[in-house]
């Protein structure tokens, strides 16, 4: 009620910025073939940029071998599956990078995005779970123009919500060695199955190419008013170090899990500054088909150990085959509350589709005692399954941890804390 009584209060108009606009920056590459390195540079040091609102624009075409039988469509999050690594540099110093880009961003997206986000990200190659085998929302006549916000690609662009002042910026993309993970085969009917799923036809399907014709980095710029610009220039003249604090997505991979019911994975060691905060764990089983979703592998229990501390403390005692996996789904659904502080989380996958296409196991290890905070941290994962791990199963673990850096806008130096 007190707000209604402020009869003398005037409306405050934000006039700090007099203009905002986007500029396209193209790479120096003439081709964007498999394994190519693509560099896009911003050399306008005198201008002010907002990198968190930039995006990639990718244009291309899908070409399937004429002799191949069956319908091929783009995979979920297809654009990110075209790259093995994305790296961001300031003044030629690496700030952040994402490896295994397709799997990493898909796991993070399943946990972070809401169904409404997926509608908005259709131009980036994301699909509703009910339209995985349809492409009409993304491309026409096998041609596409995709726009991928960089906040879905890298932790820096998601968490660093500030302008960058007086620095050169470079975005580096490494094309994947094959395009097979960017496409998938529509399940054939019973009448087509023998012909479509033959080894020779599957080999042909995997030769489908996604030919990129153009890549642009579209960056948001702004022009401050005189008063705001003077304040920014004063920071520059004082040679102050400006903080670069964000959460890095570090992906660890265990290529082939032994066919046992229990397995221990010593992931890696971290310094006290880069201690893990959240773990996203998924399993992929290679199949005869082109497309494979994440697999729950009949997981019963999973534990993370930071030195001697275990997360979670209690066993889950799940059984996917009997429908007893609510504890895993609830951890997945609560990630948006834990990581973003959302009061009403709205997970992308419902309980049925979580088991079917996206069983991602979320472990919150953000609350830590002093021994973990002040020392080197050894991360270990223990798995217990009802049945043996299937053959050709790969483990992925996205470790979200703090990253603290700073840069000097006057001298151009960048340093890690």
Most confident region among 25-29, 113-117, 163-167, 355-359 by mean pLDDT: 113-117
> Would you state the pLDDT for residue 24?
94
How is residue 163 annotated by DSSP?
Answer: -
| CB atoms closer than 10 angstroms to residue 140 | 9
Condensed to tens digits (0 to 9), the pLDDT of residues 44-92 reads: 777 899 999 999 999 999 998 888 888 888 999 999 999 999 999 999 9
Find the helix or strand (DSSP H, E) in which 398 lies.
strand 393-408
φ and ψ at residue 102, rounded to 5 degrees: -60, -55
d(CA 201, CA 48): 52
Find the helix or strand (DSSP H, E) in which 52 lies.
strand 48-63
Q: Which residue has the tokens 């996206």?
A: 358
Mean pLDDT across the chain: 89
pLDDT at 273 over 70: no
What CATH superfamily is the domain 247-405? Adenovirus Type 2 Hexon, domain 4 (2.70.9.10)
CA 395 → CA 283, 290, 311, 398, distances in Å? 5, 19, 18, 10
* Confidence grade of residue 135 (pLDDT, cut at 50, 70, 90): confident
pLDDT at 373 over 70: no
pLDDT at 107 over 90: yes
| Burial annotation 193-210 (CB, 10 A radius, 16+ → b, else e) | eeebbeeebbebbbebbb
pLDDT at 289 over 90: no
Most confident region among 25-34, 92-101, 185-194, 229-238 by mean pLDDT: 92-101
- Helix then strand then coil, in percent of the chain rounded to 5, is 25, 40, 35
CB 386 within 8 A of CB 220: no
Q: How are strands ordered across the β-sheet holding 169-175?
A: 37-42, 169-175, 83-90, 93-99
d(CA 390, CA 303): 20
> Would you state the pLDDT for residue 416?
86
167-171, 272-276, 363-367, 394-398: which range is least confident on average? 272-276
CB 38 within 8 A of CB 175: yes
d(CA 403, CA 417): 8
CATH class of 14-238: mainly beta
Q: Where are the domain boundaries for CATH 2.70.9.10 in the chain?
A: 14-238, 247-405
Q: Bigger pLDDT: 338 or 290?
A: 338
In percent, the amount of the chain with pLDDT more than 70 equals 96
> Would you state the pLDDT for residue 397?
96
Mean pLDDT of the 249-267 span? 94
Burial (CB < 10 A; 0-12, 13-18, 19+), residue 266, is exposed
Strands 83-90 and 93-99, bridge-based pairing: antiparallel
pLDDT at 1 over 70: no
Chain centroid, CA 48 distance in Å: 26
> Would you state the pLDDT for residue 412?
87
């Amino acid at each position: 009620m007190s707000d209604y009584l402020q009869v003398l209060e005037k409306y405050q108009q934000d006039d700090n910025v007099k203009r905002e606009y986007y500029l396209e920056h193209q790479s120096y590459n003439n081709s964007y073939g498999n394994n190519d390195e693509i560099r896009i540079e911003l050399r306008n040091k005198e201008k002010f940029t907002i990198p968190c609102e930039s995006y990639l624009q990718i244009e291309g075409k899908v070409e399937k071998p004429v002799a191949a039988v069956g319908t091929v469509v783009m995979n979920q999050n297809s654009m990110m599956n075209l790259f093995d690594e994305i790296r961001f540099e300031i003044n030629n110093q690496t700030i952040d990078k994402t490896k295994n880009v397709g799997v990493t961003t898909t796991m993070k997206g399943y946990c972070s995005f809401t169904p409404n986000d997926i509608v908005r990200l259709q131009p980036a190659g994301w699909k509703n779970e009910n339209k995985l085998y349809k492409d009409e929302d993304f491309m026409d006549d096998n041609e596409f123009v995709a726009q991928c916000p960089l906040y879905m690609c890298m932790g820096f662009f998601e968490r660093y919500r500030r302008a960058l002042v007086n620095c050169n910026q470079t975005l580096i993309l490494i094309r994947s060695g094959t395009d097979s993970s960017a496409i998938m085969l529509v399940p054939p009917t019973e009448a087509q199955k023998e012909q479509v799923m033959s080894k020779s036809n599957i080999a042909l399907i995997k030769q489908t190419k996604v030919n990129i014709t153009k890549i642009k980095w579209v960056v948001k710029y702004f022009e401050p008013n005189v008063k705001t610009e003077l304040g920014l220039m004063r920071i520059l003249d004082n040679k102050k170090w400006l903080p670069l604090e964000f959460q890095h997505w570090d992906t660890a991979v265990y290529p082939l899990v032994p066919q046992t019911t229990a397995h221990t994975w010593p992931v890696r060691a971290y310094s006290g500054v880069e201690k893990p905060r959240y773990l996203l764990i998924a399993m992929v089983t290679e199949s005869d088909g082109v497309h494979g979703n994440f697999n729950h592998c009949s997981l019963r229990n999973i534990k993370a150990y930071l030195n001697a501390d275990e997360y979670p403390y209690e066993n889950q005692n799940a059984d996917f085959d009997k429908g007893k996996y609510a504890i895993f789904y609830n951890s997945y659904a609560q990630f948006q509350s834990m990581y973003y502080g959302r009061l009403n989380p709205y997970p992308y996958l419902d309980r049925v589709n979580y088991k079917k296409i996206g069983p991602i196991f979320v472990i919150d290890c953000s609350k830590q005692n002093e021994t973990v905070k002040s020392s080197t941290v050894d991360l270990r994962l223990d798995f217990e399954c009802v049945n043996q791990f299937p053959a050709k199963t790969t483990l992925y673990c996205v470790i979200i941890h703090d990253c603290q850096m700073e840069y000097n806008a006057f001298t151009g130096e960048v340093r890690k804390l």
